[in-house]
């Protein structure tokens, strides 16, 4: 199909996002920044940052990574943010306001949200599942590697296949109402959640809520760290794995955790030359199996190195890396230059906890989990009664844990909302799953760090009751 | 344009509002010792991404520069709705005559 970018026709495939279609057509910069007027290109690709905001059919601040291409649409670059318009020219919304009373609202349709939705529906509960993207699956959509573990936890399947399997079961389930291209923008007094979608402005009143809002990429400070071509590793995975677009020709990957190692291997498969992986720590962060794979291809992993500067005319053309000492300070004279057009940041993820925190959930800083995360009980309820969390937004771990956590939260919600004989079945299943998660799954030394983090933010029912007295929740659900 | 950008040596902390590392360090040198005050002074996290890109990197830099723990730095951090950008007209509907 054809759409127009600043008046010129661009060919795109149906099902692509506007940002990806423009990138594939060779447009590196999508906007100009607000005050320094710097070019900005793709960065997170999952609706978390603001780099891909453009004017679409006259509407500014449109997230083009979340906007599907449509025949004849008109897209323009914007400079900074849209200026306020005069009050008399404000167009009033023609969207209907729709109130939905439901058992459970799930914010985020990634692995945690999908597994929770199905479990809740199995118990006969009504679910509204909201996701910002135009398809369900969250970051499973870009996971092309096979999952480890047993078959009932999708071992041997690839992430996007797991998403396909869930989507098939969810779309045929009459109990689950899916709202795509929709954002839960806030929770308000009376336990009402505002959801903005293209068809309606929804006011959802749930008896319980699951915030499975995922994570965003950690940013890094180096010279010209916003130049187009500096992309989150996950963003690059979205471009190549979800949409089949080659993200560049020569890459430097920053960070040797699992994301950095896996993305390096996927870059090779996509025909991108990986010049090096740099790691600021003295040891490789990710699992041995992934590191061995990329070493076999002769990609150097430079330990105790970081990126100091990138440069280029409108897009990255060169990256300078430097060795660091024990205090992570650059060692002068150790600079190395790489001719690359891609610098991928894989320096960790941060939980996106904004929804739960806006609801008033008490949070604690956890370095192991990547940031400020809500305190929760073993069954994943926060200090706001009936508000649950699961998946990366409950602290960075991985997709299988997200699936398990989503199910635990769903079972706990079921114990409250279904009749007693079914409730005891839910409780039994939940207790079994909690034991499995903590005593079996997280017993793996590979998950030791996440386990330590999760221990530090999990509190007993009694401690949670005390927290609720000390920090009374401003909003109540149920 | 890009070539000039490269020469300036700018390090961006907040992509939405173009807050640089330089801005941050100057504010700290000026004596701002409270993260919430710093956020209001520099408008960190006030852009459309609502701090999803900048809060943690800024908090880390601030913690390092002031010797505070990250828990302390973020102790008074609040999230307010709307947590994502929505069209203004959605909330203006109520005033329609």
What is the CA A75 to chain-centroid distance, rounded? Answer: 25
Look at the block and give the residue holding tokens 């009373």: A101
- Record: contact A186-B81, CB cut-off 8 A: yes
Q: Report the residue from B6, B50, B53 with minimal CB separation from A354.
A: B50
Architecture category of domain A222-347 in CATH: 3-Layer(bba) Sandwich (3.50)
Listed in sequence order, the residues at least 6 apart from A158 whose beta carbon sits closer than 8 Å to its beta carbon are A143, A144, A145, A146, A147
Nearest neighbour of B17 by CB, restricted to A34, A183, A365: A34
Query: CB of B81 within 8 A of CB of A178?
Result: no
Q: Which numeric CATH code is attached to A2-80?
A: 3.10.20.440
In angstroms, the first-to-last Cα distance of chain A is: 46
For B:60-89, CB contacts with A below 8 A are 61, 69-71, 74, 77-89
Q: CB of B22 within 8 Å of any CB in chain A? A: no
| B43 in contact with chain A, both atoms CB, cutoff 8 A | no
Q: Which residues contact A165 (CB under 8 A, 6 or more apart)?
A: A154, A157
Q: Cβ–Cβ of B18/A196 closer than 8 Å? A: no
| Confidence tier at B7 by pLDDT (50, 70, 90) | very low
Q: Using alpha carbons, select from A51, A185, A168 the residue that is nearest to residue A130.
A: A185
* List of chain A residues whose C-beta atoms are within 8 Å of the C-beta of residue B57: 218-221
Quote the tokens at residue B39.
């956020």
Q: For residue A471, which phi and psi values (nearest 5 degrees)?
A: -125, 80
Q: What phi, psi does A155 have (nearest 5°)?
A: -55, 140
DSSP character at residue B19: E
Task: Compute the mean pLDDT over every residue in chain A, rounded to the nearest whole number.
Answer: 95
Q: What is the pLDDT of residue A87?
A: 66
Cβ distance A205 to A189 under 8 Å? no
Q: How many inter-chain contacts (A to B, CB under 8 Å) are there? A: 147
Residue among A35, A131, A111 nearest A397 (CA) = A111
B95, pLDDT greater than 70 = no
Residue-wise pLDDT tens digits, A357-416: 999 999 999 999 999 999 999 999 999 999 999 999 999 999 999 999 999 999 999 999
**Mean per-residue pLDDT, A12-17:** 96
Instruction: Tell me which chain A residues have a C-beta less than 8 angstroms from the C-beta of B88.
Output: 90
The ipTM, to two decimals, is 0.91
**CB contact at 8 A, A253 and A344:** yes
Q: Where are the domains of chain A?
A: 2-80, 97-216+350-470, 222-347
Average pLDDT of the segment spanning A60-71: 94
Nearest to B88 among A90, A311, A354 (CB): A90
- pLDDT, residue A478, reads 87
Long-range contacts of A186-193 (CB under 8 A, 24+ apart): A186/A358, A186/B81, A186/B82, A186/B83, A187/A355, A187/A358, A187/A359, A187/A475, A187/B81, A188/A475, A188/B81, A189/A475, A191/A475, A191/A476, A191/A477, A191/A478, A193/A105, A193/A107
Give the residue from A238, A184, A190, A242 showing the smallest Cα distance to A210: A184
Give percent of chain B with pLDDT exceeding 90: 72
Q: Please count the structural domains in chain B.
A: 1
Closest Cα in chain B to A28: B2
Instruction: Please count the other Cβ atoms lying within 10 Å of the Cβ belonging to residue A33.
Output: 21
Q: Which two tokens stand for residue A394?
A: 């409950």
Shortest Cα distance, chain B CAs vs residue A97, angstroms = 9
As a whole number of angstroms, the distance between CA A151 and CA A144 comes to: 17
C-beta atoms of A81 and B84 within 8 A: no
Instruction: Please state the rounded mean pLDDT for residues A22-34.
Output: 94
- In this prediction, residues B41-60 reach a mean pLDDT of 93
The predicted structure's pLDDT at residue B5: 40
- Is the confidence at residue A469, as pLDDT, over 60? yes
Domain that holds residue B30: 2-95
User: Are A355 and B3 inside 8 Å of each other by CB?
Assistant: no
Given this model, what pLDDT does residue A232 score?
96
Q: How far is A50 from chain B (nearest CA, A)?
A: 6
Q: Which of residues 310-339 of A touch B (CB under 8 A)?
A: 311-315
Q: What is the CATH number of domain A97-216+350-470?
A: 3.50.50.60
- Residue found under tokens 């699936």: A403
A431 or A151, higher pLDDT: A431
Asked if residue B15 lies in contact with residue A50, where contact means CB atoms within 8 angstroms, the answer is: yes
Pick from B48, B57, B74: which is nearest to A372 by CB?
B74
Partners of residue A211 on adjacent β-strands: A107, A389
Reported as a pLDDT band with limits 50, 70 and 90, residue B8 is: low
For residue A348, what are the contacts with CB-CB under 8 A and spacing of at least 6? Answer: A217, A218, A255, A257, A370, A396
Please answer yes or no on whether A186 and B6 come within 8 Å at the CB atom.
no
CB contact under 8 A, B10 and A223: yes
Give the pLDDT confidence score for residue A150 in this predicted structure: 80
B97 pLDDT higher than 70 = no
In contact, A226 and A319? CB cutoff 8 Å: no
Q: Given a cut of 50, is residue B1 above it in pLDDT?
A: no
Strand pairing report for A349-351 and A363-366: unpaired
Query: Which H/E stretch holds residue A208?
Result: strand A201-211
Q: How far is CA A234 from CA A258, A261, A262, in A?
A: 11, 12, 10
**Residue A39 near residue A228, CB atoms below 8 Å:** yes
Mean pLDDT of A304-318: 97
Residue A132 has pLDDT above 70, yes or no: yes
Of B13, B6, B71, the C-alpha closest to A224 is B6
The CATH number assigned to the domain holding B40 equals 1.10.10.1100
**Mean pLDDT computed over A62-80:** 94
User: What backbone torsions phi and psi does residue A33 show, to the nearest 5 degrees?
Assistant: -70, 165
Binary contact (B83, A186; C-beta < 8 A) = yes
Distance in angstroms (rounded) separating the CA atoms of residues A302 and A274: 13
Do B81 and A81 make contact, defined as CB atoms within 8 angstroms?
no
Confidence of residue B4 (pLDDT cuts 50, 70, 90): very low
pLDDT of residue A109: 98
pLDDT of residue A79: 87
Which among A50, A314, A357 is the nearest to B16, CB-wise?
Answer: A50
Q: What percentage of chain A reaches a pLDDT higher than 90?
A: 90
Supply the pLDDT for residue A186.
97
CA distance A40 to A22: 13
The pTM is what? 0.95
Nearest CB neighbour to A219, from listed B48, B54, B77: B54
Return the bridge partners of A310, or none: A319
Distance from CA of B88 to the nearest CA of A (A): 9
Residue A146 confidence (pLDDT): 86
Set of chain B residues whose Cβ sits within 8 Å of the Cβ of A39: 1-2, 5
A341 Cα to chain B: minimum distance (Å): 14
Tokens of A462: 């009694």
| A contact test, residue of B84, B91, B93 with most A CBs within 10 A | B84
Chain B: closest CA distance from residue A314 (Å): 4
Task: Tell me which H or E stretch contains A104.
Answer: strand A97-107
* Number of CB atoms found within 10 A of residue A178's CB: 18
Do A2-80 and A97-216+350-470 show the same overall fold? no
Q: How far apart are CA A478 and CA B65, in angstroms?
A: 44
* A470 contacts A386 by C-beta, under 8 angstroms: no
- In this prediction, residue A223 carries a pLDDT of 97
Q: What is the pLDDT of residues A82-100, one digit of tens each?
A: 776 666 666 777 889 999 9
- Long-range CB pairs of A191-198, under 8 A, 24+ apart, other chains included: A191/A475, A191/A476, A191/A477, A191/A478, A193/A105, A193/A107, A194/B81, A194/B82, A194/B86, A195/A130, A196/B86, A196/B87, A196/B90
């Amino acid at each position: 199909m054809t759409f127009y970018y600043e008046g010129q026709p661009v060919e795109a495939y149906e099902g692509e996002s506007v940002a990806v279609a423009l990138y594939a057509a060779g447009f590196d910069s999508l906007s100009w920044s607000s005050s320094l007027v710097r070019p900005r290109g793709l960065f997170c690709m999952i609706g978390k940052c603001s780099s891909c905001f453009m004017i679409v059919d006259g509407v500014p601040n449109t997230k083009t990574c979340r906007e599907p291409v449509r025949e004849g649409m008109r897209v323009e670059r914007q400079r900074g943010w849209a200026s306020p318009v005069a009050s008399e020219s404000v167009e009033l919304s023609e969207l209907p306001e729709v109130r939905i009373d439901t058992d459970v609202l799930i914010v985020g349709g990634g692995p945690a949200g999908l597994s929770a939705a199905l479990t809740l529906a199995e118990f006969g509960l009504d679910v509204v599942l909201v996701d910002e993207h135009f398809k369900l699956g969250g970051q499973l959509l870009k996971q092309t590697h096979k999952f480890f573990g047993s078959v009932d936890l999708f071992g041997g399947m690839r992430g996007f296949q797991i998403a396909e399997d869930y989507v098939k079961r969810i779309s045929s389930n009459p109990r689950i109402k899916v709202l795509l291209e929709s954002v839960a923008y806030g929770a308000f007094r009376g336990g009402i959640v505002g959801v903005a979608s293209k068809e309606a402005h929804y006011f959802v009143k749930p008896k319980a809520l699951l915030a499975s809002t995922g994570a965003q990429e950690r940013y890094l400070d180096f010279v010209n760290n916003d130049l187009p071509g500096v992309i989150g590793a996950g963003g690059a995975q979205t471009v190549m794995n979800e949409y089949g677009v080659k993200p560049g020709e020569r890459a430097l990957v920053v960070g040797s955790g699992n994301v950095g190692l896996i993305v390096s291997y996927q870059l090779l498969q996509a025909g991108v030359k990986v010049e090096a992986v740099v790691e600021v720590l003295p040891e490789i962060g990710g699992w041995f199996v992934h590191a061995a794979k990329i070493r076999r291809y002769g990609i150097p992993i430079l330990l105790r190195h970081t990126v100091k500067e990138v440069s280029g005319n409108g897009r990255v053309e060169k990256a300078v890396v430097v060795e660091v000492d024990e205090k992570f300070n650059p060692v002068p004279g150790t600079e190395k230059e790489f001719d690359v057009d891609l610098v991928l940041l894989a320096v960790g993820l941060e939980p996106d906890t904004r929804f739960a925190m806006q609801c008033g959930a008490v949070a604690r800083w956890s370095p192991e989990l990547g940031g400020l995360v809500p305190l929760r009980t073993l069954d994943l309820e926060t200090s706001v009664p009936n508000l649950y969390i699961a998946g990366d937004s409950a602290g960075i771990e991985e997709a299988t844990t997200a699936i398990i956590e989503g199910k635990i939260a769903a079972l706990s919600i079921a114990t409250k909302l279904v009749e007693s004989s079914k409730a005891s079945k839910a409780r039994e299943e939940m207790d079994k799953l909690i034991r499995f998660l903590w005593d079996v799954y997280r017993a793996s030394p590979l998950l030791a760090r996440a386990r330590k983090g999760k221990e530090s933010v999990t509190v007993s029912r009694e401690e949670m009751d005390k927290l609720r007295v000390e920090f009374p929740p401003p909003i109540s659900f149920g | 344009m890009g070539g000039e950008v490269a020469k300036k040596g700018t390090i961006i902390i907040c992509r939405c509002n173009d807050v640089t590392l330089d801005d941050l360090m100057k504010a700290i040198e000026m004596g701002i010792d409270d993260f919430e005050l710093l956020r209001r002074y520099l408008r960190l996290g006030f852009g459309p991404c609502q701090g999803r890109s900048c809060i943690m990197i800024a908090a880390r830099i601030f913690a390092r520069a002031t010797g505070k723990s990250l828990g302390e730095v973020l102790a008074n951090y609040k999230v307010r709705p709307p947590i994502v950008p929505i069209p203004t007209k959605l909330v203006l509907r109520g005033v329609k005559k």
